[in-house]
Chain A
Amino acid sequence: DTEVTQTPKHLVMGMTNKKSLKCEQHMGHRAMYWYKQKAKKPPELMFVYSYEKLSINESVPSRFSPECPNSSLLNLHLHALQPEDSALYLCASSQGAENIQYFGAGTRLSVL
């Protein structure tokens, strides 16, 4: 099983809403990532968890709050987002020195 599952596939939220994105993998990978991807751009790294501890935070605004409840799950909590936060949010996982990343299909987020 080389699948990373993200839910929901689509999300529309207002600027005052609170929502969460979910990511799950069962490959035993110990590193998990959140990326933000705008149209026609490469993915931008937001957060990395390694062994369930936050390893990298790329100076992401506090309205994005990651959580890693266990080695298979990764959440991204959203609160008071701005319209410019509308994007495709990708989750990935990896294992080993080569850092080959396996990506989910993403959540398409629209902030109104």
Chain B
Amino acid sequence: DQQVKQNSPSLSVQEGRISILNCDYTNSMFDYFLWYKKYPAEGPTFLISISSIKDKNEDGRFTVFLNKSAKHLSLHIVPSQPGDSAVYFCAASAWGPDTDKLIFGTGTRLQVFP
């Protein structure tokens, strides 16, 4: 059972435009969400996170939006750059000292073309 879903396996965006990557989750206990970026044959790198007490978190060109009622989050990249071309994973966890797992989605491959 996939608790974190990224239903779009790929996305193609023109340089300078906005990239919107989506993520849905099914577990209502999830309270903490992260986005990672991954290049081929490398480990993922952390991009941005958000906890459920917020509905938006911004860091430079990256903004994550959280809609708890819809169990949906999205990552916006503005403006998109060719170097943003990578696979993006969303991950989720439940708050609490005994929750040790990060559950990952299947990833969305973003391609930014000139």
Q: Is B a genuine binding partner of A?
A: no
Residues of B within 8 A of A (CB): none
